Homo-oligomer: A and B are copies of this chain.
Amino acid sequence: MRRVYLDHTATTPLHPQVFEAMIPYLKEKFGNPQSLHFVGQEALNAIEEARERVAGLIKAQPEEIYFTSSGSESNNFALKGFALAHRSRGNHIVLSAIEHQSILHSAKNLEKIGYTFSYVPVDEYGMVDPEEVKKVLTKETILVSIMLANGEVGTIEPVAEIAKVCRNHDVLFHTDGVAAVGNIGVDVTKLEVDSLSLAGNQFYGPKGCAALYIKKGARIFSFIDGGIQEKGRRAGTENVAGIVGLGKASEIAKDILEQRIEKVKPLRDKLIQRLPQKVEHVRITGHPERRLPHQTSFCIEFVEGEAMLLNLDMQGVAASSGSACTSRELKASHVLLAMGINHATAQGSILFSLIEETTLEDIDYLLEVFPPIIDRLRKMSPLYTKYLEEKEK
């Protein structure tokens, strides 16, 4: 059976060069970077080189990069670290309604200890209006957190504009860049954010290694307390091989980002164009232009996401529904609901996200196997039967 992996959003495979770069650090170069001997020094040099490479990808300074274990940890670190460090200035934090759960659930726990939250809405394309952010700022507001791009619907938010609003009001601004970094150009000197999360497994780096950019001079609490790693802000023996892999993935992304985009975007566009021609009652989600180049999600009426995924899987196609971290939860996506999509339609969400290995044949294969799946599932759907009956009347 043909195998077609269209689940970049869940994770990319490792780039072969990333794999090669990691291997020595899983074998002979096994030192602890904090050790004061040759074996340690070798590992320390490797993580500092990786720090430069990650910084290079987003135009940061190396000393502004802090390694973590996942995009979720980076988001927890930023939200909780800023909230706790700036408590004396206020207790109010602003989020968008479509943030990742690592932001939303951190907020729930910060609420328990006295912080209050406002959630700015998004339009039908999942776009935040910077004016809406301005409206909810109070003199108690210390932090705003709005993602750079939404991994599920692909919409790219006006982060530079929102950051400007925050600067003008002396409020910190964090952006979750996990879905964006490595897939579109990101330049922190232009975005002018105070912090930004990124994760290696979103751009052909390893799972288990991610980073938080923290602007020089920003005051933040440490997230993992202990040793002096990461300047005392994130303790724990470094995942050297993972960090080296993240560094290599960053270097590659910086070098060939444009080529990657040129390769996946036409294939993605073909999917956006053809799928609604082959399947009825399909809604394309996300912004028509301001969107990630490698993915597209649809709401397919009268079918459920899980059923589509399982049937696609039987045909060798790996895709997802909702965000990766919630896919086993099987809830309707909070992102789609916030965009005004009704619950039943949101249940029929399907997300196809391309990797650099994706071929035209893969897309054609999907376009061939997907419509019969939908037909079959709809025949079993009481809602669809009802719809057809009403249509005939």
Chain A residues numbered 304-354 whose CB sits less than 8 Å from any CB in chain B: 306, 309-310, 312-313, 316-321, 323-329
Chain A residues numbered 226-243 whose CB sits less than 8 Å from any CB in chain B: 226-229, 235-242
Contact, CB under 8 Å: A76 / B226: yes
Q: Across the interface, name the chain B residue whose C-beta is closest to A110.
A: B225
CB of A102 within 8 Å of the partner chain: yes
CB of A64 within 8 Å of the partner chain: no
Contact, CB under 8 Å: A34 / B208: no
Mark the stretch among A37-45, A115-123, A129-137, A360-368 that contacts chain B: A37-45
Q: Across the interface, name the chain B residue whose C-beta is closest to A313.
A: B37
Interchain CA distance A221-B101 in the complex, whole Å = 16
Contact A10:B31 (CB < 8 A) given known A226-B101, A236-B72, A237-B71: yes
CB of A211 within 8 Å of the partner chain: no
Interchain CA distance A222-B72 in the complex, whole Å = 13
Interchain CA distance A72-B209 in the complex, whole Å = 16
Contact A226:B328 (CB < 8 A) given known A7-B39, A35-B320, A238-B207: no
Q: Across the interface, name the chain B residue whose C-beta is closest to A18.
A: B26
CB of A376 within 8 Å of the partner chain: no
CB of A169 within 8 Å of the partner chain: no
CB of A61 within 8 Å of the partner chain: no
Contact, CB under 8 Å: B72 / A325: no
Q: Across the interface, name the chain B residue whose C-beta is closest to A225.
A: B105
Contact, CB under 8 Å: B225 / A326: no
Copies in the complex: 2
CB of A147 within 8 Å of the partner chain: no
Contact partners of A203 in chain B: CB under 8 A: none
CB of A213 within 8 Å of the partner chain: no
Q: Mark A71-95, 1 if CB is under 8 A from B, else 0.
A: 1110110000000000000000000
The listed residue (B35, B68, B313) touching A36 by CB distance below 8 A is: B313
> Can you list 26 A-B pairs, Cβ within 8 angstroms, ordered by A?
A10-B31, A10-B32, A11-B32, A11-B35, A32-B324, A36-B306, A36-B313, A36-B320, A36-B327, A37-B309, A37-B319, A39-B318, A40-B327, A72-B227, A73-B236, A75-B226, A106-B226, A108-B225, A201-B237, A206-B239, A208-B208, A208-B242, A209-B239, A226-B325, A237-B324, A239-B242
Beyond contacts A13-B30, A37-B312, A37-B319: 18 other A-B pairs, Cβ-Cβ < 8 A, are: A7-B40, A12-B30, A13-B28, A35-B327, A36-B327, A37-B309, A39-B318, A71-B236, A71-B237, A72-B224, A72-B237, A73-B236, A101-B227, A102-B225, A105-B226, A105-B235, A227-B326, A239-B239
